[in-house]
Each structure stands twice: as C-alpha cells, then as structure tokens.
Structure 1
C-alpha cells in the first residue's frame, strides 16, 4: 500500500493546481482498494474566514451522491416486503395525479430511481437565489403530476430531482417514520457512520465545510448552505451531508453486499444492512454518452464500462477533456456526481477490485474539480499513464470559458435584439403571472422607468428587463452577480428571454410575441430545455384575485444560516 500512497501523493501539486483554476477553496478525497483505505488527502480550507482546513471527517453537502443512499433505503423496504420495484407511485402517494390516458400515470418505483419517467424536473422553479427553495415539500408529487411529458415513459433518460424527492416521501409513507430516522436506524447506525447528517448539521457540529461559489477570478465567495432546514424539498435527491471517511465506509459495505449477493462471495461485513444489490446495480435506461461500451443508469448510479467519457451526457467544456481509462483493459464501474451551489462531489465504485474513490468540495467552481480529481485517482489506482498537461490545460481553459459564459450570453442576446422600446405601455405588462398549478409566480414590475422581473416576488430574484423582440424582453447579469446570488450560470440565452402574449384558455389557442394582440394575459418562460416549444405558460392573475390565486404568496421560506 506504500507504493500506492506514494503515487497518490505525487498527484498533490496537480490536484492543487486544478483547485486553483476552479476556485475550489477546500477538497477532501479518499481511495479504497481491495477493501482497505489506501489514501486520504485534504487540500485548502473548509472555512476561509477561520482558515480551518478539512480532514477525512469534515462534513460536506454531497449533493446527488444522496441518490444512491435513497435507492439503498428503497431496496431495504423491498427486502422487507413493504414495497415492490414495480409498485406504482399513485398506489402509494394519492396526491400524484395524471390523466388516465397518459402512460406516465403508471410510473413505478424503478422508473423514479432510474430517471426514465419521461418527465422534466423543473429545477429552475424549486431553486432560487441564495439557495432558497420556494416550493413546499407537499407539492412535489402534485408537481410531478402537473409537468408536461418530455419523452415517452421508459424511452429516454431525463434526470429528475423531483422524482427522488417523491421517493423520499414514499419511504416515509410506507415506513411510518421520517427519512433521516429510517436512514439512521437501517444504514448509518449499523455501519457506524457518525459524520453523516440530513439537510442540517447538529447544533454542536464544528468540523463542517462552509459553502462557496467561485467568482470570475477564482476567488471564493461565501453563500448560504443549500438544502438546509427541516422538511426541505429535494432532501432525498441531494440533501445528505457526509464525510470522506463515512462514504468510504458506505461504499465498502456496498461492494461487500454486491459481491456477496451477486457473485456469491463470503461476506466481509457482518450484518451488512444493504440489500437487493443485484437489482440496484442493474442498468435500467441507456445514457446519451458517445461510447460503444455500456453506458446506462441503474438506481442512483451511472453504470459505465471503461474507457468512457464521464458525466451525464453533456460536454464538459472546451479543451481536451480526458477520457477515463483510455489505454486500459475494459472495466465496469459505478459513478455519480453531485452539484449544488456551494458544493460539488464525485464518487466511483469498482466491485471487482473492491475499490472506491470519493472527492468532496465546498464550492461550485469554474471547472468540475471533483470529477477531474476523481479521474486522476482512478487512473493512478489502475496504473494508467496520466498526461498532467491535458488535465491542467483542460481545467484552465474550461475555467476561463465558464467565467465568460454570462458575458457571452449577454452578447448573444444583444446580437439578436431587434427592438428597443416595448410595443405596449409598461403598465400593461405589470402584474403577477402564475404557472397552471399555482405554486410559482413571476412578478413584472415597473421600476426606474423600465420593467423588472422578480421570481416569487423577492428582491434577491429581481432583474431589470430589456426589450428584445416584439413583445419579448430579456434579463441578464454578470458572472459575479450570479455567483453572489448563488445562481447557476450554465443556461443558454433562451433561458433569459420572457415572451408576453395572449392565450384564449377556453379555445386553447394563443397569440405569441410575434403577433398583434390587445390584451396581455400571460407570458412564456423557457426554463426547462428537455421540453420543445417556447416554454411554460404563466397566466396573468386578475388584480382582484391575486391574493387567492396562490397559497404561496408571501410565504417564501428563507434559508437558515448555521
């Protein structure tokens, strides 16, 4: 193991360089091989203000690494006979409704676990500035029942955070206890995971990573913690807090359970709580990756046959994006990443060699430092040659381009701009516009001689509007302004365009921004790009009915600061 340790330690300068390009203040990593912890290392600061460094027990928000834990909890319930993999959601949560003719009404537990529901997540509605979540947890199942179909059931991989929130509620409904209590009783306590928490840290916790967002110059800007507080939405999709040491313990148990239940090996961990690994690790839906090898999504895990590109199907940016495992014999692994303003993470598990890699960071950086560092560790683990120049150059170029994204979006919007004055008096645009389910509104205000848009009526989500084309407007901000509000900067220009128009609700026809109309009674916002068309329609509320139209007005939950 000393040989491995020396090799991993030699990666230190390159890892530190990647963190510098990304604007990652703190990073913790760990490597498991042949069932034993081979290497752990820590870089930078978990708390910039106090200059405190992270260690293997520092708790980070792990983001979507939570999904595999939620899947493991569902598997325990299946093993207990309280659920079946083909149990339909509507049979558990009665507030999930879709038209009887809609195939999505038959969504099962497996469909939710594997992102094959064909339904979009509507992420832009549930996450606002400063990591505030405006939608109540009770609306998760109704929202899933409301969203339009993006693809036929079980035909395409469409990542869906709301689906995992609903799974968390299924666990609570069937078990009769809350999510974290079930997690502690059935997984954390049996495995001795003492540094893992759910949507909160204990009041006396001290070894906790603070949340940051990288500014354009790669400096770290402090932001409120994400997915924080009791009964917060999306907790079962990304709200677990954990440490490198705890996650290595968990993945060691997962590997042992997989080898025991699938390969018939003798168990190493007595009373291992993890169950149904033969089903959990099966590929359920193909991933849109450019590879001739296997690339599928299992239940909370990506199932990839190396060599393979990484990620969930999109480009990672310009430059040379190193392919994982190039030049090595084919090898099956299970992967996932986590990404939420303030924290990013990466995990990989290789049951055949009882190996695992974990990388946790406390920033949404300019480049994906956890994935790059994770790839470096995997290449070193299996003896592959590493081109340090490729990794360094990719991190540098990708960081530079990421920092310029908002500037490029603004240039594109200005380039396509055709009007400079609104076609209607400003007062005709002013009002509150609600989605059809009535749990989210966009407010248009007359401000400083122009118009401003405010999401859910909050000052922190207010942006000036500029005329764009006919009856459409755009809003935009700099990278640093978005970062300081903890808002993503990865959306294309269409995300920032608001189109006003008129829709005849009774006739089902609409008049969009390219036509003439007398009365503005709605707007379209393309916040979800798995759907075709010009976006979701938000209906303008009548002045006298605004107070009763939405039960959420004036009730936007605030983010607590620990």
Structure 2
C-alpha cells in the first residue's frame, strides 16, 4: 500500500508538468514484481469533446513500435527462417550499394541496433500535416542510396528507414503482411485487444486525438501520423496501443527474458516472445558520459542505473537512480507529431513504467513523468521543485527555438537581392534516384520552395545564390513540422553541376541546374544535391539522366 500511496501522490506534479508542456491527455501504468500496481490518467483524450482517457485508450506509440518489430524478428529467427547475421541483400536483393561499400554487408542485427552507419533521411517523409509523400517501395532504394555517416558497426546512427525495411523483411520471410503477423503471433496469444497497426477499426472509439503544443502551451489538432494501409514507417513507429495492453506486452518481455536468459519458469504459458537473450543484448555503445553501461540493443536502449541524462533530457536533469542499487533499465521513447511516449522496464524486479501522451509538446512530458515514476518506484526522494523548474526552463527554451533560428538567419544574411533573375532558379529538382523532388516556383515577385508538391514556403535572399525559408514555432506546430533543426536546414543553395562532378557554388554563365539542401545532420557535408529535370510530363520516378 505504501508504494501505491507514493505513486498516487505524484498526481499534482504530473498535472503541473502536463500544463507547462502543453499536454492535453496522459495515461500511465506501473508494473512491479509482475503485477500492475498503479494506473492513472490525466486531462482529456479529445479537447473538443472533453472525453477523458483511461488505461484502454489507444495512443500512437511512435518508436516504441521498434521493440515490437524486434520481437517479430526474434520469432522468425527462432523458427529458423532468419538468422541474426542474415545479410539484408540475401532477403531483399534490390538492396545494392557500391561494389566495395562495406554497407553491402548490413545484417538483420545491424538494422535492429542502428549500427549500419547509414543516416535515416527522415526529411524525405517528415514533411507537413503528417502526410508521407514517399511509399514503402522507396525505402530500400533510399537505404541503398544514402551516403555513409559512419563505418559499419562503429557508431550509433539512429535510422527509422532501417526499421521500415525490417518490416518488409518480416513480410518477405513470413509470407504475411506486418499487421497479420503481429496480430496472429503476438497480439492474439497475449490477448492484446487494444493494439493496432497503423489503422484503427471503425468501431474502436476510445482513441486519443493527436495535438501539437503552441508557444503558450495551448494546443492545435493535427492529422493522425503514419496512418493507413501499407503506409511507410509503420514498422518504425505506426503501432497504436493502450497502457493496459503495453503492460501485458512488457510483462511478457520480462517473463520471456527470465526464462530464456536466467532459466526461470515462464509465468505466461502462451508467451510468444523468443530470442530475448539476443534482443536484450547491447550491440552498439551510445555516446559515453558514464562509467556504467549505455548501449543500444534491438529495439531497446540499454542502461545501467544510476545514470545522468540518458533518458532524453535536454537540458540535462539530475542523475536518475542516484543513491540506489545499480540495476538494468531497458527503455525507449516515441516522438511523432501529435504524440510523445515513454517506457522503461527493469527485468531484475519485474517492473515496467509506461507513459503515453497525445501531444508533441513543449517539454517531453512522458519522459519527465517516467523519471518521476521510476524514482518513486524504487524509493528515491523526489524534489518537486527540480522537476517543475526544469519543465518551465525547457518549455521556454524549446518555444524560443525558431526565434533563435530567425536571428541566426538574419545575422548571416549578406544580400537583399539574388545574384540572378528569379526565373533562373525556377524548376523541379530531383535527388539522384528520382524519388524525392523540390519545386522552386515564382509568384508575385518572389520564389517559393515546395517539397514534393505538398507545401510552399516563401524564400528570401540569403547569400550569393542561396535563399532561406522560415516559419514561426506556432506555424510549424500547426503544420505538424519539427522546430528543432539547425539553421542550415532552412537554406536552399543553388549551383551548377558539371556531369557527374561536384556542384559549383557560383554557376556563372553555365546557369543553374542544381540545388543543395542540408537536411541530414548525421552527415558532415554541405547538403544533398538535387538536379533540375525538364521532362515533368513523364511519370514520376521514370526520369533519366
């Protein structure tokens, strides 16, 4: 009873964090020694109807989906249909990189643990209004095309596209689509009736509607992310689930790990999870700031507590678990426009914490609340002032992100007029594999940039042959766009490319036939080059040259 009282006593500070962050609704659950010891819900799942959430409310769980994808791979490995060292090109032959590129040898484990060394190119699909303009068929060509950010198996380079491709591996090897395999092999055995892949049944009404927070912590509704049949990124972040179902799932993870790693007797006879000895094993180190372990496993971050600033805090907070016995924490968060989520499991004590929210907020409320729950669960004293002051500081910092970007852009601006007539820049520019394009249009005496034909942002002269676009924090929130990119993301630089050579920053008399856009910050380069194409009457994806 003392534990329940401690956890229940967190209610006022959790409500305060939600208010500061701009989080309309939040649901949480705590598992300890294999038993659900606490459930709580805050706010509303729908701002318009004022309906409250409960433990059965379905939220988009974002990248917490990755642990589910890893579990599905584990089942296939256990059945001998895959091995952890199976190379991607042996399952999907269309994955082809340059002949001597070590990335040709990427394995299933490399994809699961973000150690491929390849960047994700999330800007290709994270555009406006949660619309995804590229298809699942584009994922393997993109993974084949992206430059190397780090040598294979040497550094942690987070890659959502890798998990999309893993979803396709599951389908190829199993002969079933992702949703069917998930339902038949995991959800049905565990009786998880409130978990769905990308699309909710029409008769399921207990759903948390997604919102983005504005600078003043009010919220705006956004379209559902990663939604629909055969949508890109489902295996990376498209599952919808509830606190009730996720506690069942994480209890099954703990149960299977106890059996397969420690030789304990299963407490869930129908437990479908397999190969937990490999799935929970650390595969690649995270950037070190501790003498204790910090690594990524397969769909899980792996931490040895106590540990400072390893659960997503920015700026950092106090150390998690200081003064307590060291213990293993497996954790993951989810962040997709409309939703933030967090989970952590502790196999040694049969414990799990789940926090789901329906807002991409000014502060990562689920991580903050998760930290609170973990400290109370294991008997640490909570300094309420530390948490509330951190939330206020982080909210102010994040709300000012775009104001600071605008200051940087203006400070670095060197021209008021472009170097060439506006018409010289107009055109449609394609990446090297012709599955992503950027349109530059002229209207009313200025240029605008349109990504994949979905949206338009006015361009202003920046430097010699470069322009910038800008939106306020609130404008980005309304359009479900990320406000956290560096200044370079908002700059379009025009150039001339000679044959297969490098882009020339000053096109001179050769004319403009390319642009450069810095959208991937895992790469230490000046940005990706997109070439102008003239044959826009051809079906998209068939242009040559």
Q: State the TM-score, normalizing by the size of structure 1.
A: 0.95
1:201–1:552 CA distance, 2 compared to 1 (3 A): farther
- Deviation of 1:552 after TM superposition, in Å, equals 9.0
Match of 1:500 in 2: 494
Match of 1:477 in 2: 471
Match of 2:513 in 1: 521
Residues 1:512 and 2:509 are matched in the alignment: no
CA distance in 1, matches of 2:437, 2:335: 26
2:435–2:540 contact (8 Å) kept in structure 1: yes
CA distance in 2, matches of 1:311, 1:524: 34
Match of 2:314 in 1: 317
- Deviation of 1:323 after TM superposition, in Å, equals 2.4
Correspondence 1:4-19 to 2 at 5 A? 4-19=3-18
Residues 1:547 and 2:537 are matched in the alignment: yes
Shifted more, 384-393 versus 35-44: the winner is: 384-393
1:311–1:337 contact (8 Å) kept in structure 2: no
Correspondence 1:369-388 to 2 at 5 A? 369-388=365-384
Residues 1:46 and 2:45 are matched in the alignment: yes
Deviations 1:455-514 (A, max 9, x none): 1112xx2111111111111101011100000001010111101110111124x133115x
SS at match of 2:119: coil
CA distance in 1, matches of 2:318, 2:492: 38
2:65–2:237 contact (8 Å) kept in structure 1: yes
Match of 1:558 in 2: none
Match of 1:188 in 2: 187
- Deviation of 1:271 after TM superposition, in Å, equals 2.3
SS at match of 2:463: coil
Deviations 1:507-561 (A, max 9, x none): x133115x7453001000000001111100000112xx123273399xxxxxxxx
1:167–1:236 contact (8 Å) kept in structure 2: yes
Shifted more, 283-292 versus 59-68: the winner is: 283-292
CA distance in 2, matches of 1:201, 1:245: 17
In angstroms, what is the RMSD of aligned CA positions? 1.3
SS at match of 1:468: strand
Residues 1:531 and 2:523 are matched in the alignment: yes
Structure 1: give runs of 5+ residues left out of the alignment: 554-562
- Deviation of 1:365 after TM superposition, in Å, equals 0.2
- Deviation of 1:311 after TM superposition, in Å, equals 4.6
Correspondence 1:124-273 to 2 at 5 A? 124-273=123-272
1:213–1:483 contact (8 Å) kept in structure 2: yes
CA distance in 1, matches of 2:542, 2:281: 40
Correspondence 1:76-475 to 2 at 5 A? 76-311=75-310, 316-318=313-315, 321-458=317-454, 461-475=455-469
Shifted more, 324-333 versus 241-250: the winner is: 324-333
CA distance in 2, matches of 1:321, 1:261: 35
Greater than 4 Å deviation, 4+ residue runs: none
CA distance in 1, matches of 2:216, 2:352: 33
SS at match of 1:454: strand
SS at match of 1:532: coil
CA distance in 1, matches of 2:346, 2:458: 49
* Matched positions, count: 543
SS at match of 2:497: strand
Q: State the TM-score, normalizing by the size of structure 2.
A: 0.98
Residues 1:73 and 2:72 are matched in the alignment: yes
Match of 1:556 in 2: none
CA distance in 1, matches of 2:71, 2:143: 22
1:10–1:145 CA distance, 2 compared to 1 (3 A): same
CA distance in 2, matches of 1:221, 1:428: 38
- Deviation of 1:325 after TM superposition, in Å, equals 1.1
Deviations 1:310-368 (A, max 9, x none): 457x7x434x5232112222111100000000011000000000000000000100011
Match of 1:559 in 2: none
CA distance in 1, matches of 2:247, 2:337: 24
Structure 2: give runs of 5+ residues left out of the alignment: none
CA distance in 2, matches of 1:491, 1:521: 26
Shifted more, 117-126 versus 323-332: the winner is: 323-332
